Copies of this chain bind each other. A is one copy, B any other.
């Protein structure tokens, strides 16, 4: 793990990069990284996240700034700007059932090629996918999803990068932290090593590449 500034963190991300971003309706999203993406004007981003949040919050800021080329999410219904851009053809949207999305990301992080799920069978979510029978039941083959970067927000980080999360701000964060080539984390509080008990560490330090310094 390397400690860096928020400017250095975002400077690493090229235009067109794929980013998994933590958060659920903006709760648990690394807002400092989002704000810096907007400030540096990183364009054509592919964003993989639960949702498009709301205008002015989390991923909503990236969409409002016109920086997003494509969103892979389970819903964008509470962000009218995202819907407008989609209808105008400015932004591509892949809608994925929420449970399928998180399992595809987990598969990417856990070295699985994919998972077999009944969710989406017989619906538009089945389009373009293989069906497989296991023990007499049908499943869709849902393939693993990875990204170049994961932008993670923790509640506590210790000084070597162990992370823990608070309440419903956990959501996608620990899962995406496993599924990207480069993991960049911010934290509400950076604490000395040992402050987070071993049983309470959710993301182990060795998977975190960069921890953004607090100011």
Contact = CB atoms under 8 A, between A and B. Distances in A.
Nearest to A168: B198
Contacts of A137: 113
Interface residues of A, number: 28
Contacts of A164: 199
A167 interface: yes
B134 A167 contact: no
A111 B117 contact: yes
A114 interface: yes
Interface stretch (A5-13, A60-68, A72-80, A138-146): A138-146
A124 interface: no
Given A141-B132, A199-B166, A111 B116 contact: no
Given A134-B144, A165-B199, A200-B200, A139 B116 contact: no
A175 interface: no
Q: Which of A118, A144, A167 has the most CB of B within 10 A?
A: A144
A4 interface: no
Interface of A: 103, 107, 110-118, 130, 132, 134-135, 137, 139, 141, 143-144, 164-167, 170, 198-200
